[in-house]
A = this chain, B = another copy of it.
């Protein structure tokens, strides 16, 4: 792996023109906020385990409870959270409710993250 030096170094002593150049790389606050919400959804271990089950399957709450070993209430709260972010869809069938991940965007980040973490 080559140790390529970073393209450009910035310090305050640089002229304002250079500061403006750096500023163009700064993401806006609204963008940062929306982006942080996506990553925040993936920032909790139990939520990641839950998501790993919903990635390719539709699973009812009671089964999630059995597989994850979490309380029914904790799972239901997490699912509510994911629902509010529109990350999961759900389908009621009798007394069961089946959940599945409904955001390819998050699915992609999860899988990419997993690839890297597993390879070391």
User: Which A residues are closer than 8 A to B by beta carbons?
Assistant: 6-12, 14, 19, 22-23, 25-27, 29, 31-36, 38-40, 42-46, 48-49, 52-53, 55-60, 62-63, 66-68, 96, 98, 100, 105, 108-109, 112-114, 116-118
CA distance A82 to B112 in the complex (A): 20
CA distance A57 to B117 in the complex (A): 25
**Contacts A8-B58, A25-B52 given; does A116 touch B105 at CB 8 Å:** yes
Q: How many copies of the chain does the oligomer comprise? A: 2
CA distance A43 to B62 in the complex (A): 29
With contacts A22-B67, A27-B48 known, what are 10 further pairs, Cβ within 8 A? A9-B98, A12-B60, A12-B63, A23-B67, A31-B114, A32-B52, A35-B48, A36-B42, A38-B117, A39-B109
